[in-house]
């Protein structure tokens, strides 16, 4: 298995621009998580999906952030408009839905820099 795939790996954009981050979870995994990592706040859960349905988006910072999962093999995290404080590494993770299978598998992350 190729693992969790994220694209792009690096993104540099200017304030006010729209940014779209993409994630392909491991095939057969029922849960998908989006995290943000910064030096100041560490790892934060933004939102997670179960069977393509958003379950908890309480970690999404504000209305500028949105996430979708149109099918079991693809999810996007969109920031519109982007701000310099959104600069961070964004990770996607997935896991199986079976009881006792809580292990999350992380993608390599997208490094976002908003100028």
Partner 1 sequence: AQSVTQLDSHVSVSEGTPVLLRCNYSSSYSPSLFWYVQHPNKGLQLLLKYTSAATLVKGINGFEAEFKKSETSFHLTKPSAHMSDAAEYFCVVSGMNTGNQFYFGTGTSLTVIP
Site for partner 1, rule CB under 8 A: 4, 31, 33, 42-43, 45, 48, 50, 55-56, 91, 93, 95, 100, 102-109, 111
> Minimum Å distance from CB 31 to partner 1?
5
Is residue 94 helix, strand or coil? strand
Retrieve residue 47's tokens.
């939102």
Q: Which residues contact 101 (CB under 8 A, 6 or more apart)?
A: 95
Q: Which residues contact 37 (CB under 8 A, 6 or more apart)?
A: 43, 44, 88, 89, 90, 91, 109
> Minimum Å distance from CB 12 to partner 1?
15
Closer CB to partner 1, 81 or 113, in the complex: 113
Closer CB to partner 1, 82 or 104, in the complex: 104
> Is residue 56 within 8 Å of residue 47, measured between CB atoms?
yes
Q: Which residues contact 99 (CB under 8 A, 6 or more apart)?
A: none
> Minimum Å distance from CB 43 to partner 1?
4
Closer CB to partner 1, 27 or 51, in the complex: 51
> Minimum Å distance from CB 89 to partner 1?
9
Closer CB to partner 1, 19 or 47, in the complex: 47
């Amino acid at each position: 298995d190729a693992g969790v795939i994220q694209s792009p790996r690096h993104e540099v954009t200017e304030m006010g621009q729209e940014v779209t981050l993409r994630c392909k979870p491991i095939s057969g995994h029922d849960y998908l998580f989006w995290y943000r990592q910064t030096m100041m706040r560490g790892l934060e859960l933004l939102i997670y999906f179960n069977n393509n349905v958003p379950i908890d988006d309480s970690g999404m910072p504000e209305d500028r952030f949105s996430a979708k999962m149109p099918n079991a093999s693809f999810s996007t995290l969109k920031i519109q408009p982007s701000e310099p404080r959104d600069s961070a590494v964004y990770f996607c993770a997935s896991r199986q839905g079976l009881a006792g299978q809580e292990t999350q598998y992380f993608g390599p992350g997208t490094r976002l820099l908003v100028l």
